[in-house]
Amino acid sequence: MNASAAPSWHPALEARYAPLVEKLERLIPCMEVPLHLPWIDAILELKRRRGALIMAHSYQAPEIFHGVADVTGDSLALAQAAADCDSNLIVLCGVHFMAESAKLLAPDKTVLIPDLDAGCSLASSITAADVRALRAQHPGAPVVSYVNTSAAVKAESDACCTSANAVQVVDAIAAEFGVDKVIFLPDRYLGAWVAQQTGIELVLWNGVCEVHETFTAQQARHARERFDARIVAHPECAPEVLAEADFVGSTSAMGQWLAKEKPTRVAMITECSMADNLRNQFPQVEFIKPCNLCPHMKRITLPNIHACLRDLKHEVTVPGDEAAAARRALARMLAVGRRDRV
């Protein structure tokens, strides 16, 4: 195949991928499906030849999430799967900090990302130097960093957390260090939500997710009043949005809530593709979509996944000393999770 040529469609693809076609036609405009099938077919063939494993975050488009991914989930689940999988070649369909986290937990494996410029407003909002300055301003206060940060920031932190375990990690780190004040970064909205649920004083950084910060309380009220929808919001949203929600939770917790509550209609106050992908799992639920697209996640496409596999390009690496320190912060978070399961 010419390096710049797109794979061509042929009628046999419709039959070969009939179950996938049926699924995608429920999730995306049906006229897009024939455009995606040749790329999906070519990627699956390349993946087989390379012995690669493709991982996709829940914010990836359905043609990626359902079409080519072997493992799907939130950023921590993908990183843990990278450590546990048998493949030595991983293609991470997500943003850069996620690929770094996979590399941190699977240091001996090759981790590729289809687009090196797939970033994150939260990760870019703070640097390692900023963390050191915060420590100087608040001596003795341990640092808990959200996983939506660079490896360099994780390396300056005492522990990492996800939106699912932030409260537990903050409480555990405060107890371990014998303090009542913790530096929490970089998402000020997630930090404010955590602060409401713990007795620990949190020093917050002024970072926000550009997807979640744009939601308004009026949008949530409109979805409830106009469509009689239950409201599910991610804690990266502003406090006034969370105050309107029936449930506030992480990416994984949202799916668990839907399985338990089985609402007739729901408005997911989060990234659009999250709702698209959950629609397949919960066909009985009508999804109202006051959602926003993450421009960074949408940099990952079928053509650049194909190019990534074809050319084995965009390898993600983390310098040795930085990786060791960042890995310790991740390990501390994972240890909290293990204690919670006992």
Q: Tell me how far apart the alpha carbons of residues 160 and 172 are, in angstroms, rounded to a whole number.
A: 12
Residues 232-246: pLDDT tens digits?
A: 999 999 999 999 999
pLDDT of 1 > 50? The answer is: no
In a domain, 303, yes or no: yes
Residues 120-148: pLDDT tens digits?
A: 999 999 999 999 999 999 999 999 999 99
Q: Stretch 105-130: mean pLDDT, rounded?
A: 96
Per-residue CA distances from 58 to 29, 276, 298, 327 (Å): 19, 9, 12, 23
For residue 227, give the CATH number of its domain.
Answer: 3.40.50.10800
pLDDT of residue 8: 85
pTM surpassing 0.85? Answer: yes
Q: Stretch 22-39: mean pLDDT, rounded?
A: 92
Whether 134 and 226 share a structural domain? no
Residues 6+ away with beta carbon under 8 Å from 250: 74, 162, 163, 164, 234, 235
pLDDT of residue 290: 67
Q: Which domain holds residue 69?
A: 12-118+297-311
Whether 106 and 135 share a structural domain? no
In a domain, 32, yes or no: yes
Whether 128 and 200 share a structural domain? yes
In a domain, 261, yes or no: yes
Whether 284 and 323 share a structural domain? no
In a domain, 58, yes or no: yes
Q: Stretch 1-13: mean pLDDT, rounded?
A: 73
In a domain, 5, yes or no: no
Q: Total domain count for the chain? A: 3
Q: What is the 3-state secondary structure (H, E, C) of 36-55?
A: HHHHHHHHHHHHHHHCEEEE
Q: Tell me how far apart the alpha carbons of residues 260 and 271 are, in angstroms, rounded to a whole number.
A: 21
Whether 163 and 254 share a structural domain? no
Q: Tell me how far apart the alpha carbons of residues 166 and 168 are, in angstroms, rounded to a whole number.
A: 6
Residues 161-181: pLDDT tens digits?
A: 999 899 999 999 999 999 999
In a domain, 4, yes or no: no
Whether 54 and 152 share a structural domain? no
Quickly count: other Cβ atoms within 10 Å of residue 136's Cβ.
8
Residues 190-213: pLDDT tens digits?
A: 999 999 999 899 999 999 999 999
Whether 91 and 132 share a structural domain? no
Whether 183 and 227 share a structural domain? no
Whether 16 and 114 share a structural domain? yes
Q: Tell me how far apart the alpha carbons of residues 262 and 264 are, in angstroms, rounded to a whole number.
A: 7
Residues 307-334: pLDDT tens digits?
A: 999 999 999 999 999 999 999 999 999 8
In a domain, 1, yes or no: no
Q: Tell me how far apart the alpha carbons of residues 142 and 9 are, in angstroms, rounded to a whole number.
A: 55
Whether 146 and 100 share a structural domain? no
Indicate the pLDDT class of residue 293, thresholds 50, 70 and 90. confident
Whether 101 and 34 share a structural domain? yes
Indicate the pLDDT class of residue 288, thresholds 50, 70 and 90. confident
pLDDT of residue 6: 79
Q: Stretch 18-38: mean pLDDT, rounded?
A: 93
Whether 278 and 328 share a structural domain? no
In a domain, 2, yes or no: no
pLDDT of 3 > 80? The answer is: no
Contact 74, 82 (CB under 8 A): no
Q: Tell me how far apart the alpha carbons of residues 99 and 334 are, in angstroms, rounded to a whole number.
A: 18
pLDDT of residue 267: 93
pLDDT of 5 > 80? The answer is: no
